[in-house]
């Protein structure tokens, strides 16, 4: 149903805590499986002498959807109410981060799953950290397998208390904590009869309460300039509209050069039709009323809502490179279509991926660390806070010829620096 609103959610949890089972339940209980799928999977289980599991539903469903394509992030959806929930299922936290930072995925909300019997694991903490790093603010924690702890309120409250305390250090406050049993369907789609002490929402109800992030077209205009084609005497500027929309007659400002001009025409290449306006998500070529000199890497916007221009900002980065990052380390930074030399001016804090401890006065960022840093660039660049506009607020870090890290812009400093 294409008329439904799309809503993207990421599901994360320690392996075996019940992610597939919970998803299988959601698909089955919202009637979102293809016709006959449930019976087919039951049949296969019977033939193979296996006990039916809801997890098989989701796994089999995924296999069908994925045939022939290889992707890090499997995407499927279930429908409920007037929404289609698109599931971003990342196999591990590295894939999840990579997908988020590269822009392959944009989660609007997250479901974090914890096994009531096993309690909070390191991975549960890491997932909480990643959500806070990525600025995901709509979070529901599902305490799953409540049937294994006799549906005990005490067991649930203990996990809730401990996890809330941990997340509050990350300034993350989940809106909902839900005691559930994915296997039995308690508090997933239907309210549980086994936990009369719980007066809160079901998982589905909590998801329906989350609000949709603004559509990209409603954000301020951002067109990172990709290329300039010179067909004398005309110059066509090409780029993808990453946010907002623009029309013929609009005054554009290019950052960081701060040059302005009016859009004279918009055209699609090799196609005779001329368009009047272009929304986010489309690429376009356009001409200006004046021959101003702009370069690849600049960002076109409307004058009253231009990006920040700065050579210093605070960021959260994820490092994947073998060589650790020292204070003062120099790399190439790529943000939208701009590339610029950068320096790690300061390392403010590190979450060590193995211990999850925050280094006291960290000197280096090791492989798989997530760190809060201050970055300086050799020249001012156009950028946004990730929380405001994601596509011009995230970047990758290149060492040699390879992407070795990625990050998101948390805060932009205005004061201009001495060039390094």
Task: Say if residue 401 is preceded by a cis peptide, omega within 30 of 0.
Answer: no
Q: Which residue's structure tokens are 């193995």?
A: 354
d(CA 66, CA 324) in angstroms, rounded, equals 36
Identify which of residues 105 and 182 has a Cβ nearer to ligand GDP in the complex: 182
Min dist. Cβ of residue 6 to ligand GDP (A): 24
Picking from 231, 360, 331, 322, the residue whose alpha carbon sits closest to that of residue 285 is: 231
Min dist. Cβ of residue 148 to ligand GDP (A): 5
d(CA 373, CA 364) in angstroms, rounded, equals 11
Min dist. Cβ of residue 111 to ligand GDP (A): 11
Identify which of residues 139 and 333 has a Cβ nearer to ligand GDP in the complex: 139
d(CA 130, CA 353) in angstroms, rounded, equals 11
Please give the structure tokens belonging to residue 23. 């998803």
Min dist. Cβ of residue 71 to ligand GDP (A): 18
Min dist. Cβ of residue 180 to ligand GDP (A): 7
Return the SS3 of 119: coil
Identify which of residues 16 and 39 has a Cβ nearer to ligand GDP in the complex: 16
One-character DSSP codes across 178-223:
EE-BTTTTBTTTB--SS-TT--S--HHHHHHHSPPPPPGGGSPPBE
Identify which of residues 188 and 225 has a Cβ nearer to ligand GDP in the complex: 188
d(CA 254, CA 135) in angstroms, rounded, equals 28
Min dist. Cβ of residue 183 to ligand GDP (A): 3
Min dist. Cβ of residue 37 to ligand GDP (A): 17
Identify which of residues 53 and 95 has a Cβ nearer to ligand GDP in the complex: 53
Are 112 and 131 in contact by the 8 Å Cβ rule? The answer is yes
Min dist. Cβ of residue 21 to ligand GDP (A): 3
Identify which of residues 109 and 113 has a Cβ nearer to ligand GDP in the complex: 113
115, 154, 215, 247, 369 from 120: Cα distances, Å: 8, 15, 35, 52, 21
Residue 72: count of CB within 10 angstroms of its CB = 16
Are 182 and 144 in contact by the 8 Å Cβ rule? The answer is yes
**Which residues on neighbouring strands pair with residue 139, listed in sequence order?**
110
One-character DSSP codes across 249-289:
T-EEEEETTTEEEEEEEEE-TT-S-EESEEETT-EEEEEES
Min dist. Cβ of residue 13 to ligand GDP (A): 5
Identify which of residues 17 and 83 has a Cβ nearer to ligand GDP in the complex: 17
Residues lying near ligand GDP in the complex (CB under 6 A) are found at 13, 15-21, 53, 55, 144-145, 147-148, 181-183
Identify which of residues 144 and 316 has a Cβ nearer to ligand GDP in the complex: 144
Min dist. Cβ of residue 326 to ligand GDP (A): 38
Give the dihedral sign, CA 324/354/318/384. negative
Picking from 122, 126, 138, 73, the residue whose alpha carbon sits closest to that of residue 99 is: 73
d(CA 284, CA 102) in angstroms, rounded, equals 22
Identify which of residues 182 and 252 has a Cβ nearer to ligand GDP in the complex: 182
Identify which of residues 146 and 333 has a Cβ nearer to ligand GDP in the complex: 146
Task: Say if residue 89 is preceded by a cis peptide, omega within 30 of 0.
Answer: no
Identify which of residues 19 and 83 has a Cβ nearer to ligand GDP in the complex: 19
Min dist. Cβ of residue 88 to ligand GDP (A): 15
């Amino acid at each position: 149903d294409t008329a439904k609103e799309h809503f993207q959610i990421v599901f994360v949890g320690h392996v075996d805590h019940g992610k597939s089972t919970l998803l299988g339940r959601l698909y089955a209980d919202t009637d979102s499986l293809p016709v006959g799928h449930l019976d087919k999977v039951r049949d296969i289980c019977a033939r193979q002498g296996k006990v039916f599991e809801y997890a098989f539903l989701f796994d089999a469903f995924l296999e069908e959807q994925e045939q022939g394509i290889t992707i890090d992030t499997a995407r499927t959806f279930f429908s409920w109410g007037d929404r289609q929930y698109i599931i971003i299922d990342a196999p591990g936290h590295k894939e999840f981060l990579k997908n988020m930072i590269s822009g392959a995925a944009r989660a609007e909300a997250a479901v974090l799953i914890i096994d009531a019997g096993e309690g909070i694991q390191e991975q549960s903490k890491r997932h909480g950290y990643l959500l806070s790093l990525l600025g995901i603010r709509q979070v529901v924690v599902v305490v799953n397998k409540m049937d294994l702890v006799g549906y005990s309120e005490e067991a649930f409250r203990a996990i809730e208390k401990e996890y809330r305390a941990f997340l509050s250090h990350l300034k993350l406050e989940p809106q909902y904590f839900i005691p559930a049993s994915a296997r039995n369907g308690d508090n997933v789609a239907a309210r549980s009869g086994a936990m009369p002490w719980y007066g809160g929402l079901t998982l589905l109800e909590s998801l329906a309460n989350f609000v949709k992030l603004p559509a990209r077209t409603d954000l301020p205009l951002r067109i990172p300039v990709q290329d300039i084609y010179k067909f004398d005497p005309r110059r066509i500027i090409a780029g993808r509209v990453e946010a907002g929309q623009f029309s013929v007659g609009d005054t554009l400002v290019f950052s960081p050069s701060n040059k302005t001009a009016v859009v004279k025409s918009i055209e699609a290449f090799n196609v005779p039709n001329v368009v009047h306006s272009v929304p986010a998500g489309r690429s376009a070529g356009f001409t200006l009323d004046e021959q101003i000199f702009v370069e690849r890497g600049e960002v076109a916007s409307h004058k009253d809502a231009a990006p920040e221009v700065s050579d210093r900002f605070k960021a959260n980065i994820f490092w994947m490179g073998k060589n650790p990052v020292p204070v003062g380390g120099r790399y190439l930074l790529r943000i939208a279509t701009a590339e610029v030399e950068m320096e790690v001016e300061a390392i403010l804090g590190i979450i060590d991926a193995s211990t999850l401890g925050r280094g006291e006065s960290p000197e280096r960022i090791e492989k798989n660390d997530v760190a809060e840093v201050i970055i300086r660039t050799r020249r001012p660049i156009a950028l946004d806070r990730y929380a405001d506009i994601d596509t011009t607020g995230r970047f990758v870090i290149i060492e040699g010829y390879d992407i070795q890290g990625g990050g998101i812009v948390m805060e932009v400093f205005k004061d201009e620096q001495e060039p390094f």
